[in-house]
Amino acid sequence: MSLMSVELRGTFLPVTTPFDPVTGEVDLVALRANLRHWMRHPLAGVLVGGSTGESVLLDESEMISMLEAARDVLPEGGVLIAGTGAESTRATVRRTRAAAEAGADAVLVKPPAYYKGGMTPEALARHYRAVADASSVPVVVYQVPLRLSTLDLPTGLVAELSHHPNIVGIKDSRAKLELIGELVDQCEQGFQVLVGAGSVLYGALELGATGGIVGVGLMAPAEAAEVSVAFSEGRKADAGRAQERIEPVHTKIVGGMGVPGIKAALDILGLHGGVPRPPLVPASDARVEEIRGVLETAGLLETARA
């Protein structure tokens, strides 16, 4: 086990997975193009294989090829996080080791949730410790959005895990600032709390979070990056203005429509969105027009591809 650390400070993007419209295979050329566009902004890094990246629909070999592609494109200092959580501890360890070999700086591990009734705090603690013990890179706990098929992790469990030397943080996507405050207060000093909802990024920073992994940043990278950068530089009014601009985009597209909505938005903005992988279905024509209106109201169409 390595006691390497990783700084999770700033705004990170949970990147989408572009698929070839004919073959349905992962389109690595499109992924690299998207990454080059996004990383022209002062972002801290990216997450490959998160909920927004359709992680549960990807093969393990696809994840590795995406990580290798991202590693090649990320600028020096850009942090590469890999989503490696699986239902078994064994598979999570295997995926974590493979991700580290492919160049990941840290791994994000969602809780196993299928046997929900058996996932007691004790079982989850054993799972996370085993993964962290076996990992050569730092582990970040993932509190998945509760609208998805998942568990609600007790603050006490996360606080207990925060004492493990190789469990360095949490991404909490519940979008509840009181829970972010609990985590900041109760976890080990130096444990990094990241928010997963762009609607509460500024508020979370105010409470002591180190940053966020936010899907809204895929559509508004400059603004999402500015929330963290301006806040860290003491320009709180600027950070607040950037937050106000991204909040409705998060609420209506990320929160309201999920992956199909985000991918449609990327297409509108001139990036590589494309269709989600079945059984997810693409956004309807009516939804696409609604998305266009949200982006226009936020002033994001003028800056598309700028």
Domain residue limits, the chain: 10-235
Q: Which two tokens stand for residue 94?
A: 């295997």
pLDDT at residue 1, as a whole number: 39
pLDDT exceeds 70 at position 290: yes
- The whole-number average pLDDT for the span 283-289 is 98
Amino acid identity at 168: V
Query: Are the C-beta atoms of residues 200 and 175 closer than 8 Å to each other?
Result: yes
- The whole-number average pLDDT for the span 213-219 is 98
Of 200, 212, 148, nearest to 13 by C-alpha is 212
pLDDT exceeds 60 at position 229: yes
DSSP code for 110? P
Report how far residue 2's alpha carbon sits from residue 73's, in angstroms, rounded to the nearest whole number.
25
Q: Which two tokens stand for residue 277?
A: 């992988």
DSSP code for 164? S
Q: With a threshold of 0.85, does the pTM exceed it?
A: yes
- State whether the Cα torsion 223-5-90-122 is positive or negative: negative
As a whole number, the mean pLDDT across the chain is 96
- The whole-number average pLDDT for the span 85-102 is 98
Of 185, 182, 210, nearest to 195 by C-alpha is 210
pLDDT exceeds 80 at position 121: yes
Model confidence at 2, in pLDDT bands (50, 70, 90)? very low
In this structure, which CATH number among 3.10.20.90, 3.20.20.70, 3.30.420.40, 3.30.70.260 belongs to the domain 10-235?
Answer: 3.20.20.70
State what percent of residues in the chain have pLDDT above 70.
97
Strand partners, 212: 11, 195
Catalytic residues: 171
69-83 per-position pLDDT tens digit = 999 999 999 999 999
- The whole-number average pLDDT for the span 45-66 is 98
Report how far residue 140's alpha carbon sits from residue 121's, in angstroms, rounded to the nearest whole number.
17
